[in-house]
Amino acid sequence: MSAITGVGAYAPRFRISAEAFEDAWGQFHAAGVTEKAVPSADEDTLTMGYEAATRALEASEIEPAEIDWLAFASSRPPEAEEDPTARLGAMLALSESATRQVLTGSTRAGTRALWAGLDALEADSTTALVVAADAPKGDPDDGTDHAAGAGAAAFVLESEGAAEITDRAEYAAPYPGTRFRTTGKDETQGLGVTQYDRQAFTETIGGAVDGLEVDPDPEAVAMQAPDGKLPYRAAGAAGVGTDEIQAAATVHELGDIGAASVPLSLATALEDGYGSVLAVSHGSGAGADAFVVEADGDVPAVTALEGDDPLSYAEYLRQRGVVTTGPPSGGGAYVSVPSWRRSIPQRYRLEAGRCSECGSLSFPPEGACDECGALAEYEPVELAGGGTIEAVTTISQGGAPPEFAEQQARSGDYAAAIVALETDNGDETVSAPAMGTDADPADFSVGDRIETTIRRIYTQEGVTRYGFKVRPVSE
Amino acid sequence: MRDAYLVGAGQSDYGAFPSESYRSLFRTAFEAATDSVPNGLEAADVDEAFVGNLGVGGRQLGLSGPAVTEHVGLDGVPCTRVENACAASGFAVRQAVQAVKSGMADVVLAGGFEIMSDMSSDATKYWLGVSGETEWERLSGTTFSGVYAQMASVHMERYGTTREQLSRVAVKNHANGAKNPHAQLGFECSLEDAQSAPVVADPLNLYHCCPTSDGAACALIVSEDVVDDYTDDPIRVAGVGAGSDTVGLFQRDTYTGVPASQRAAESAYEMADVEPDELDFAEVHDCFAIAELLAYEDLGFCERGEAGDLIESGATELGGELPVNTSGGLKSKGHPIGATGAGQVVETYKQLSGEAGERQVEAPTRGLTHNVGGSGGAAVVHIFEKESGVDA
């Protein structure tokens, strides 16, 4: 048997309402979605996955080094080709020898990752981390895009624990054309053959549930939700009631979260204390997975799904980069990818160095000691991620390096600070410059408390650099 | 060691000149410098040259020093390009003084040049950042406006310095620059203008930031053995000081001062054996309004934390107790990076020679120049003294 022993979930802070779409378009093509989450310009599925995964690890109280199996699932990984799990593992401080899997190509990828994690535990893995993150995108006038939300969920899996996965089944049947993205395209599309699409959805979901050995009697159903209506149309096929689907639904407030749709609904159902949960995904092509989860009602969960920053439709287009032109060309002050890579322990895990001569901390830990000037060795010290703002400015247009012009065009002014980052026990600090995120720049003042997270810094030569940024913490 | 003397200095106009090249601007400055020498000075007299330059508009030319000196007929003369970001030609002047004092040369050209206007504003900004700490500071989203704004945020928090006081720096320097025919932004601005301009990096607005400029400047430094050939009223390089520091602000112990400036000033005052209150005027590095206020404190014009009061008192205006940036400073005169330090010496030479026209300080004896690279990774201070003024 395998069980979920830690749950993490995350959604970006920005929201756009159905009304905002209606004001802009005269209509809104995503039935049943009242508002949805919108990723900030410095977020993508990798950073959202990181946000959910750190929370799942925190909930499970598992040390990152104990994870021996990692999967990342998304219909929109940051790059069409390049394994994001190496970076995700480094961000989370997982062992370099942990097994890694990437699952993509379908909104079913999230449950495929869960499936693969269960397989791994049945083989020789002991502690698995399943991370699903997504942010679908379609043509601006298309229902896929109107529904498209953003979010992530993560689960720690062990052989036993608070939420046991007692059964699983899958089903596939060929239904091309319901939802697809051709190679090289950025927008997901569908032919929009209404009855055909519904049949693909209900047949695969029904097929997966029928394949279960147990006869589920769920209190909550985490059902794939491409919009706010379709999951309820599959109630009959899945043999469940619409109330149970609604109990775990996130689509109405967060939108279509693609491959993270079912994982996120499952996460909220477990956090809400439901004892018996049926999770059923659907991915175009088409296929479905069904899982039966029996929980004791007290599954450790850390979630951050609230968002209270409303966007207008114009701001939404800016934030998503629909109406911006991309970074300006240029050169100078260039940080090469190899030099960036050397700084990854600092960018991802705040690794400072303790001087072997005087014992004080330097950041970054290279060259002569900031304190005593000795060219000594540094003992690595990972900072805790909390600190205080020492100096800060709000960068307006004209004040941003051109590498950040695209981000600024999308997200507007941002805070840039020098922060005193603390050690684990809070006794020592070392200063580092950091960009503000996740809050209005006016929310950053000298003396304020901050915490670090990992975001996109910028993309140059097609390669996205990720690193720590800071956000305010309310005490 | 032998004494070194400033016998001539000149500059091109500062501004944006699509029809000029970095070489033609340098030629203008060179000719203005040689023409300013009271008894004349020929190219053939020059033993050595040091030329400050950052990047010729970001093109990163090699041998950009000889490229300008050969253009003015100095081919054959040993020439070294000096790069210390915005302090490049301040350090070129220092190199010239060292060459003279050491006895290796009698007549040395110290100049600088930069072309910054012949590319897109994006390309300019890419390039400006090269003098910052690129791997951490810049990637937190800052260029120098942001870093100086961070210094301002702490100065305001700790000492109560105000946005209005920052704006007063702009008002003063524009009032001076309006009297300087070489100034790029040679117009006056009101306190209201200087307070209501668009924000660049809060609390700094556009009027708290210097422009990007094309321009060149040259100074001629000679030894005590030959000074009488060139002038009857010698101006001695009385003090020289320099310092360096971490390139990134975040690695320093203080954000409310520039330690490299403090070290440079201390050495220069000691060598010149003068106190700040013995100065008659100063050209300081006002790349941003807060930088001028920090300079007041770093150079000992006032106590730490009191720069806001000092600008507000009017003491640093033309006609005040210690006029600062009579040229208009970087803010109004312009800031062609590699030329700026030598350009400060040009203003000093004009003031001490009584050639500063409408902005002339009354009968000055002693002036200071203060040139900073980046946010304080390098700084150099010179004190120039008219010997006839000291003797009198």
- Pair (A233, A293) in one structural domain: yes
Q: What angle do helix axes B289-298 and B163-177 make, rounded to 10 degrees?
A: 90
Q: Are A63 and A145 part of one and the same domain?
A: yes
Per-residue pLDDT at B1:
86
Per-residue pLDDT of chain B (392 residues; tens, 9 = 90+): 899 999 999 999 999 999 999 999 999 999 999 999 999 999 999 999 999 999 887 777 889 999 999 999 999 999 999 999 999 999 999 999 999 999 999 999 999 999 988 887 777 777 777 788 989 999 999 989 999 999 999 999 999 999 999 999 999 999 999 999 999 999 999 999 999 999 999 999 999 999 999 999 999 999 999 999 999 999 999 999 999 999 999 999 999 999 999 999 999 999 999 999 999 999 999 999 999 999 999 999 999 999 999 999 999 999 999 999 999 999 999 999 999 999 999 999 999 999 999 999 999 999 999 999 999 999 999 999 999 988 76
What residue numbers bound the domain in which A99 lies?
A: 2-319
Residue A328 counted as domain residue: no
Instruction: Let me know whether A111 and A220 are in one domain.
Output: yes
Contact A9, A261 (CB under 8 A): no
Distance from CA of B251 to the nearest CA of A (A): 7
pLDDT band for A401, please (50, 70, 90 cuts). Answer: confident
Are A80 and A182 in contact by the 8 Å Cβ rule? The answer is no
ipTM of the complex: 0.90
CB B86 within 8 Å of CB B340: yes
- Closest among B133, B139, B157, B141 to B249, alpha carbons compared: B133
Last residue of a domain, one of A319, A350, A365: A319
Q: Vertex B294, ends B136 and B315: CA angle to 5°? A: 160
Reduced 3-state DSSP string for B183-234 = CCCCCCCCHHHHHHCCEEEECEEHHHECCCCEEEEEEEEEECCCHHHHCCCC
Residues A356, A304 within the same domain: no
Q: Which of A319, A352, A385 represents a domain boundary (last residue)?
A: A319
- Residue among A325, A351, A393, A446 with most chain B CBs within 10 A, to mutate: A393
Q: Could you give the domains of chain B? A: 4-119+211-386 (3.40.47.10)
Residues pairing with B82 in the sheet: B52
Residues of A with CB under 8 A from a CB of B: 328-335, 339-340, 343, 364, 370, 390-396, 398-405, 414, 416-418, 431-435, 441, 446-447, 457-458, 465, 467
* A178-195: pLDDT as tens digits: 999 999 999 999 999 999
Say if residue A47 is in the same domain as residue A174: yes
CA distance, residue A14 to nearest chain B CA (Å): 22
Task: Flag whether A416 is in a domain.
Answer: yes
Residue in the structure block whose two tokens are 């007299």: B45
State which of A292, A319, A346 marks the end of a domain.
Answer: A319
Grouping H, G, I as helix, E, B as strand and the rest as coil, residue B378 is strand
Q: What percent of chain A has pLDDT over 90?
A: 87
Same domain, A370 and A396: yes
B167 in Cβ contact with B293 (< 8 Å): no
Asked whether residue A374 falls in the same domain as residue A427, the answer is yes
Q: Is A127 within the bounds of a domain? A: yes
Domain contains A332: no
Share of chain A above pLDDT 70, in %: 98
Strands A163-175 and B107-114: unpaired
Q: Residues A228-277: pLDDT tens digits?
A: 999 999 999 999 999 999 999 999 999 999 999 999 999 999 999 999 99
Q: Is residue A330 part of a domain?
A: no
pLDDT tens digits, residue range A95-127?
999 999 999 999 999 999 999 999 999 999 999
Q: How far is B376 from chain A (nearest CA, A)?
A: 16
User: In B265-374, which ranges are E strands?
Assistant: 281-283, 366-373
Residue type (1 letter), B292: E
Q: State the average pLDDT over residues A134-144.
A: 94
Q: Do B143 and A401 touch (CB under 8 A)?
A: yes
Q: What is the CATH number of the domain that holds A28?
A: 3.40.47.10
The domain total for chain A is 2
Assess whether A253 and A382 both reside in one domain.
no
What is the model's pLDDT at position A327? 66
A418·B123 Cβ contact <8 A? no
Angle, to 10 degrees, between the axis of helix A109-122 and the axis of helix A261-271? 70
Q: Tell me whether residues A329 and B138 touch, CB distance under 8 A.
A: no
- Amino acid letter, B349: Y
pLDDT of res. A331? 62
Distance (Å, rounded) from C-alpha B313 to C-alpha A261?
Answer: 65
**Cα dihedral value B114, B117, B121, B126, nearest 10:** -20
pLDDT above 60: residue A475? no
Among B126, B145, B150, beta carbon nearest to A392: B150
In a domain, residue A409? The reply is: yes
Mean pLDDT for A131-151 is 95
Q: How far apart are CA A125 and CA A143, in angstroms?
A: 41
Residues A306 and A349 in one domain: no
B13 DSSP 8-state letter: P
* Residue A13 and residue A65 share a domain: yes
Q: Kindly state whether residues A172 and A115 are assigned to the same domain.
A: yes
pLDDT digits (tens, 9 = 90+) for A38-74: 999 999 999 999 999 999 999 999 999 999 999 999 9
- Asked if residue A42 is part of any domain, the answer here is yes
Residues A93 and A150 in one domain: yes
Q: Do residues A319 and A406 touch, judged by C-beta distance below 8 A?
A: no
Q: Is A212 a domain residue?
A: yes
* Best mutation target, A347, A395, A430, to test chain B (most B CBs within 10 A): A395
